[in-house]
Every structure is written in structure tokens, then in C-alpha cells.
Amino acid sequence: MLGKVLKYDILADYKKYLVVFAGLLISSIFLGVSNATNHDGLVNREYNAVINMLVVSMFIIFTVLLSAALVMVFAISTSRFYKNLMKDEGYLHHTLPVPTWQLILSKLLSAYIWYFVLAFVVAVCASVISRDPFLIFNFFASFKTELTANLGAEAEGVMAFFRYTMGYVLLAPFIVLSQVYFSLSIGNLSNKNKLGVSVLVFFGLYIVQQIVGTIFAAAFFVNNKFLFEEVAYDVGSAEVFAAFDPMLIGSYALISVFSITCYVLANYIFTKRLNLE
């Protein structure tokens, strides 16, 4: 049944995504053609200013559409969660032969699917603009090679930080949406202003998360004498990056546990304390 619910969630708003994705592709094609004509000298000099102005305008449009697409993934997932589980549609969804945790998981998975579709579209756009169909593959293939050539042994530290960053990018939808879903589940308990309560809870979670993160980072720096000793100024950046590994791993563990807890509590509240009034 999860597959059927997920299919519904994916297809429910696909037309909105397709419009934005089409805009991204069209603007990238224009940017690619403009770059090619300028680079290859296919236009007369008197038209260069006009072409450059159009390129800048199209780049702004591309950037706006990309930002809108990123926001859209989270906004639509949040809106669909609210409408399907907390509004009138909730009377139907909560009577389906599907456990509540699967209803919530379906919203999360659909967001992830559109998140990766967007990443694929952006990769295609980058290839079109650069006129290199293997741009992304070439980038990852040559990234470590170039780092090693330029930084030597210190490249491994930069690569480790890069891997942590990519890991956070992959976790970002779950981190944000699990907290949003938990906030909405708390708002569900209110009989008056469900959205207002949800917003307050979300900001409260954010503040708590920042406080815990600050305390954790402060404790790390206090206990890690390596970063304060004078010898630290004489060591390579590889050792400095390595010194941050425990903090980064601990941060991942904390945010993962926090997000999983939010998901579990949201499921519990919608299962045991559902309020559709």
C-alpha cells in the first residue's frame, strides 16, 4: 500500500515541477548557446553588448528558478502533509489501510525523489551551459586528482570535509522535513490555530538545536587542546582537518538522532492523538 500512496504523492503536483524544470532547461540552453556564440566569435562586436545583457538576464532567471525549485520541493511536501493529514482530506487518508508511519514516510520519500530529480535536471543544465555532456562525471573524477597535485598530503583532509558536506546535503531533506512534520503534529493538538502553533514549535526546535550545537562545539574546542597549542600553527592542514573529524561525526550523530526522534514522535502523535477538528 505504501507504493500506491507514494505514487499518488509523486504525481499529485508533478505539473508544477515540470513547469519549473522546463524553465531551467530552456534558460540553460539559451545560456549555452550565448556562451558558444560569444566564445567562438559568431556574432558581430556591435551585438556583443546585447548578447551579454541577455546572458546576464537569463542567468538571473536561471538562478531564481533554481531557488524556486529548491523551495518548492520542501513547500509542496509540507503543504501536502498538512492538507492530507490535518485538513478535511485527513478523514479519508487516516481511514486507508495504511499505517500512519507509512503515510508520513510517503511524504518524505516523495520529497526525496523530487529532490534527486532536481539534482539530475541541474546536472543536465550545467552540462548544457558548459557544452560538456560529461561535466559532472569529469568534475568528480578530476577533483581528488587536482587536489592531490596542488595540496599533496593535505588533500585528504579537504576530501574528508567534502564528503561530510555531501553527506549533509543528502541528509538535509530528512533533517528539515522531520522537524516540520513534528511541528505540524504538535500543531495538530490545538483546536484553534494549528499553523500558528506549528510555526512556534518549529522555531523552538531550531533554537534548541542551535543551543545544543553550540554547547557541543564549545565542549569539543575546550577538550581538544591540539587546536589551542602553539604547535598547531606549525602543522599541516591535513592534521587540522583530521582534528575536526570527531566533532563532525558527533554533529551527524546528534542531528540524526534528533531528526529520527522528531519522526517517531510525529508518528506517535498522529496515531494516538489525532485531532481533525
Model pLDDT for residues 24-37, shown as the tens digit of each residue: 888 888 877 776 66
Among 71, 98, 133, the domain-final residue is: 133
Neighbours of 84 (CB within 10 A): 22
> Nearest CA to 32 among 130, 132, 138, 120?
130
pTM score above 0.95:
no
> Nearest CA to 111 among 74, 153, 56, 148?
74
Contacts of 120 (CB under 8 A, 6+ apart): none
Boundaries of domain holding 179: 149-277
**Do 72 and 177 reside in the same domain of the chain?**
no
**Do 17 and 123 reside in the same domain of the chain?**
yes
How far apart, in whole angstroms, are the C-alpha atoms of residue 170 and residue 225? 32
**Do 167 and 272 reside in the same domain of the chain?**
yes
Answer whether 65's CB lies under 8 Å from 24's CB: yes
Answer whether 81's CB lies under 8 Å from 182's CB: no
DSSP annotation of 273: S
Is 143 domain-assigned? no
Answer whether 174's CB lies under 8 Å from 260's CB: no
Average pLDDT (155-169) is: 72
Encode pLDDT of 115-124 as tens digits.
889 888 888 8
Is 6 domain-assigned? no
Taking the CA of residue 100 as centre, how many other CA atoms within 13 Å lie in the half-sphere pointing to its CB? 19
Among 133, 167, 182, the domain-final residue is: 133
Opening angle at CA 189, ends 109 and 266, nearest 5: 30
**Do 160 and 85 reside in the same domain of the chain?**
no
How far apart, in whole angstroms, are the C-alpha atoms of residue 154 and residue 146? 12
Query: Among 89-93, 182-186, 199-203, which is the least confidently predicted range?
Result: 89-93
Among 104, 133, 162, the domain-final residue is: 133
Answer whether 63's CB lies under 8 Å from 159's CB: no
Highest mean pLDDT of the ranges 43-52, 58-67, 83-92, 233-242: 58-67
**Do 216 and 163 reside in the same domain of the chain?**
yes
Task: Provide the percentage of residues in the chain whose pLDDT is more than 70.
Answer: 73
DSSP annotation of 272: H
**Do 111 and 191 reside in the same domain of the chain?**
no
Contacts of 238 (CB under 8 A, 6+ apart): 153, 154, 155, 156, 157
**Do 276 and 154 reside in the same domain of the chain?**
yes
Report the domain count for the chain.
2
Encode pLDDT of 136-147 as tens digits.
666 666 666 666
Q: Is the per-residue pLDDT at 154 higher than 80?
A: no
Amino acid, single-letter form, for residue 205:
L
